[in-house]
Amino acid sequence: AQTVTQSQPEMSVQEAETVTLSCTYDTSENNYYLFWYKQPPSRQMILVIRQEAYKQQNATENRFSVNFQKAAKSFSLKISDSQLGDTAMYFCAFAPNAGKSTFGDGTTLTVKP
Amino acid sequence: EAGVVQSPRYKIIEKKQPVAFWCNPISGHNTLYWYLQNLGQGPELLIRYENEEAVDDSQLPKDRFSAERLKGVDSTLKIQPAELGDSAVYLCASSTGTSLLDTQYFGPGTRLTVL
């Protein structure tokens, strides 16, 4: 069974600063996908960024980028120029090529003005 | 474009009572997911539909939970009877296809409290 571990239950960052959220996973699969989701307080969960394991290049979406280390089974999320609207719970998720997603327990990020 | 709609948003019931949740996915989305999210944890998949067919229900506690998506559009998740441990947020999501590259769009969830 796959497991996803987010070792930082809570983090905070000053507005405009950069923060990195950690995620590690355990799997015997070779082909899979990794995701970061954002769940703002009382709002819907939305996809932030995804990475296909066969791609070596790290995914980037505007201020959000990942550091994907396949050998280390690590998938961290970097948020640059943090904004107040980035305050949310962030979930890392793993999905094998033909299976369902497994989510971590989340990291609560607070951006302080 | 309307997002995924869920109702009710909140539900409080006493244990042993039945409860039902409704989800209307984004128009044109063939795949529908029901997730359970306990407080402080990530979502756990309960069931996934491709059109009207349940293709993954291995995590659905079938002794008390049931789901249907009769016409391949909206879906209902039912619990009968509810137990104290069922208190959680029930999330519905939908996507256009079955590939993991197809973005899942989540609804606001139904927060269930069982007393």
Q: What string of DSSP letters covers B8-64?
A: -SEEEE-TT--EEEEEE--TT--EEEEEEE-TTS--EEEEEEETTEEEE-TTS-TTT
CATH number of the domain that residue B30 is part of? 2.60.40.10
Q: What is the pLDDT of residues B34-86, one digit of tens each?
A: 999 999 899 999 999 999 999 888 889 999 999 999 888 999 999 999 999 99
Q: Which of B4, B31, B56, B100 to mutate to test the interface with A (most CBs of A within 10 A)?
A: B100
- With an 8 Å Cβ cutoff, are A105 and B42 in contact? yes
Q: Work out the average pLDDT over A18-30.
A: 94
Question: Cα(A37)–Cα(A54) distance, rounded to whole angstroms?
Answer: 20
Q: Is the pLDDT of residue A56 over 90?
A: no
- Provide, as residue numbers in chain A, all residues whose Cβ is less than 8 Å from the Cβ of B103: 47
- Provide, as residue numbers in chain B, all residues whose Cβ is less than 8 Å from the Cβ of A106: 40-42
**Predicted pLDDT at A85:** 95
> Which of the four pLDDT bands, split at 50, 70 and 90, describes residue A109?
very high
Q: Is the pLDDT of residue B112 over 90?
A: yes
**Predicted pLDDT at A41:** 87
Please report whether residue B107 resides in a domain. no
- With an 8 Å Cβ cutoff, are A103 and B101 in contact? no
Q: Is the pLDDT of residue B100 over 90?
A: no
Of B40, B48, B104, the CB nearest to A47: B104
Strands A74-79 and B88-95: unpaired
- With an 8 Å Cβ cutoff, are A97 and B3 in contact? no
**Predicted pLDDT at A13:** 97
Closest Cα to residue B33, out of B86, B85, B109, B84? B109
**Predicted pLDDT at B99:** 78
**Predicted pLDDT at B44:** 94
A95 touches chain B (CB under 8 A): yes
End-to-end CA distance of chain A: 41
Q: Could you say which architecture CATH assigns to the domain A3-112?
A: Sandwich (2.60)
Please report whether residue B19 resides in a domain. yes
Instruction: Say how far residue B5 (Cα) sits from the centre of its chain.
Output: 11
In terms of CA atoms, which chain A residue is nearest residue B3?
A44
Q: By three-state DSSP, how is residue B84 classified?
A: helix
**Predicted pLDDT at A96:** 85
**Domain count of the fold of chain B:** 1
Please report whether residue B37 resides in a domain. yes
Give percent of chain A above pLDDT 70: 99
Please report whether residue B105 resides in a domain. no
Dihedrals phi, psi of B104, to nearest 5 degrees: -85, 130
Q: Work out the average pLDDT over A27-56.
A: 91
R_g of chain A, CA atoms, integer Å: 13
Q: What is the pLDDT of residues B5-23, one digit of tens each?
A: 999 999 999 999 999 999 9
In terms of CA atoms, which chain B residue is nearest residue A100?
B45
> Which of the four pLDDT bands, split at 50, 70 and 90, describes residue A99?
confident
In terms of CA atoms, which chain B residue is nearest residue A93?
B42
Is residue A24 left, alpha or beta, with left meaning phi > 0 and alpha meaning psi from -120 to 50? beta
A106 touches chain B (CB under 8 A): yes
Q: Is the pLDDT of residue B101 over 80?
A: no
Q: Is the pLDDT of residue A87 over 90?
A: yes
DSSP label of A93 = E
End-to-end CA distance of chain B: 37
> Which of the four pLDDT bands, split at 50, 70 and 90, describes residue A21?
very high
- With an 8 Å Cβ cutoff, are A100 and B48 in contact? yes
What are the structural domain ranges in chain A? 3-112
Higher pLDDT, B92 or A98: B92
**Predicted pLDDT at B1:** 64
Show the domain range for B23.
Answer: 5-97
Q: Provide the shortest C-alpha distance from residue B16 to chain A (in Å).
A: 28
**HSE-up of B10 (CA within 13 Å, CB side)?**
2
Of B41, B100, B109, the CB nearest to A33: B100
